[in-house]
Amino acid sequence: MKFTLALFLGVITAKDLQVQQLRDRINALKIKISQEGQRAIEKEAHEVAYVAHAIKDSRPVRNLGASFERWAESAEVQNIKALDEAFVQTPEGQKLV
């Protein structure tokens, strides 16, 4: 009854409904993790952080970073940025924004 009244009065917007529907879908999954599973997940997360720290200054990582920087300055990326800016100015782009 309260929900219907809130909808009628316009207190709840369509965006609120979408968020609530998303929350309901997530809650419907009902994922349960055992203590052992939780420890395994934490161990893996710790290992990822350890390895990331260990390879942070390695040559392949530096090379990859340099490659990404060169790619970001390339003509192809500049063309994509220009197309993106032009698209945002169109009515279709404004709808997406």
Q: What is the DSSP string of the chain?
A: -HHHHHHHHT-S-HHHHHHHHHHHHHHHH-----HHHHHHHHHHHHHHHHHHHHHTTSHHHHHHHHHHHHHHTSHHHHHHHHHHHHHHTSHHHHHH-
pLDDT (tens digit, 9 = 90+) per residue, 39-61?
998 999 889 889 989 999 999 99
- pLDDT(35) > 50: yes
Q: How confident is the model at residue 11 (pLDDT cuts 50, 70, 90)?
A: very low
pTM, two decimal places? 0.44
